[in-house]
Amino acid sequence: MKIRSFDVYILDLPTIRPHQLAMHTIVSQAIVVGCVTDEDGREGWSEVATIGGASYGESTPEAIKANIDTYITPLVIGKDPIHFDKIMFEISKLVRGNNFAKTVVEAAIIDLAARSKGVPAFELFGGQIHTSLPIAWTLASGNTEKDIEEAQEFLRQKRHNIFKLKIGKGDPFKNVEHVRKIKAAVGDQARITVDVNQAWDEDTANYCIEALEDGGVSMVEQPLPTWNYEGMARLTSRFKVPIMADEAANSVQDVFQIAKHRAGNCIALKPCKAGGLTQTKKVAGIAEAAGLGLYGGTMIESSLGTAICAQLYATIPEMKFGTEIFGPLLFKDNITVNDMQYENFEVVIPTGPGFGMEIDREKVKHYTRSEG
C-alpha cells in the first residue's frame, strides 16, 4: 500500500450567525481539506480550519495549500501510510514550521491507514478511553438577555452546560459585567468561562480577572499576548481561577516552557497548533507530567475536523476542562454525509473506520474556492 496522490482544497463554509473573536468576526469559515489516495484507490480525508486569514495566526489557508502542494506532497508520494509517524518525522527534517499544513497531511494519512485496517483512528493512538466528552458552547450575541435566554434553552435541551464568552473586543470592564450577569442568571447549573484572545495588558487583566473570579467564572483563557510568559506566570500565581494558555501553546516546545515557568495552569489542545495528532499526544503528556489541566480546543472546524479532534481527545485520560468542539453546530451546511452527535451535554465520539466521517463530494465541490 503506497501513497499515489495528495490533493488539497480550500473551502468557505457559511455560519448560522457571526462568531466574534478579539481579532476577527467569522461569518464564513475557511477550512483546508486534504485527500490522500493510495495505489488501490483508497482514500483518507482531513481538515484544518483557520480564522480571519492572517489575523489569528501565520498559517493562512492559501499558504497551507501552497506549501503542501509544493513542498510536502513530493515527500509523501510512494510512502506506506501505516508508517505515518516515520513520514512526518522525515517531513519535519525538511519543512520548518507549517504546523497547520503538517496536520492536514498527517491526519489524511492516518485516516487512510486506519481505514485500510477497518478500525477507528483512535485505535492507532492507544485506543478509546472516552465514548463522549463534555462540550462547551460560545454565547456570542453580545446582548446579555439574549445570551441568558440561549444558555437557559441549551440547559433545558441538555445540549450544553459549559458556556464560553469571547471578551477580548470592546470595553473590558463592560464585558466583565456582561459575564457576571450571565453567571448570576445560570447559577450552579452551568460553568462559565471566558476567552480574551490575548487582548488585555497585565493591568487590565489584574482588575478584570479579580472581578471575574469574584463572579464565579471557572476559567480565563489567554488574557495576555503570547509572548508574555512572565505576565501569564504572575496571573497564574495570583488568582485561584485557572488561567489557560491557548495561542501561546503552539508546539511541544512552547508547552514545555509554559509548564516550566507556570505561565498558565491549563492548556488548550489543538492538533493544528502542535503540527498533528502525534505531536498533540506529546503535548498532552507534557501537560499531564506537569500537572496542567487539559481542554479540547477548536479552530471552528466542520464535522470532519471535529471528528479528528474528538477521536484524539478520546484517547487522553483526563480532559479536566472538557472540550469546545462545537464547530458543526455553527455551520449552515456540512461536508460529510453523517453528522457529529451531541447529547446529554456531551459530544459523542464517532467510531466508524478512520475518523468515522464519510465525505460528501458534492458539498466539497460546491464550497471549494474557484482557482480562477
Report the catalytic residues: 166
| C-alpha to C-alpha distance for 262 and 233, rounded to whole angstroms | 5
Sheet holding 266-269, edge to edge: 136-139, 162-166, 191-195, 219-221, 243-245, 266-269, 293-296
**Which letter does DSSP use for residue 13 in this model?**
E
Cα–Cα separations (whole angstroms), residue 140 to 31, 182, 270, 316, 338: 21, 12, 21, 29, 27
Residue 102 CA, chain-centre distance (Å), reads 15
Give the three cell numbers for residue 196.
Answer: 480574551
Q: What share of the chain is helix, strand, coil (3-state, %, to 5)?
A: 45, 25, 35
| C-alpha to C-alpha distance for 318 and 369, rounded to whole angstroms | 39
| C-alpha to C-alpha distance for 265 and 237, rounded to whole angstroms | 9
Give the three cell numbers for residue 37.
Answer: 489516495
| C-alpha to C-alpha distance for 152 and 149, rounded to whole angstroms | 5
Burial 328-361 (b: 16+ CB within 10 A, else e): bbbbeebbbeeebebeebbbbbbebbbbbbebbe
Q: Are 212 and 195 in contact (CB under 8 A)?
A: no
User: Could you tell me which of 357, 349, 307 has the C-alpha nearest to residue 133?
Assistant: 349
In 39-98, beta strands by DSSP E: 43-50
Give the three cell numbers for residue 182.
Answer: 450571565
Sheet holding 346-348, edge to edge: 132-134, 346-348, 341-343
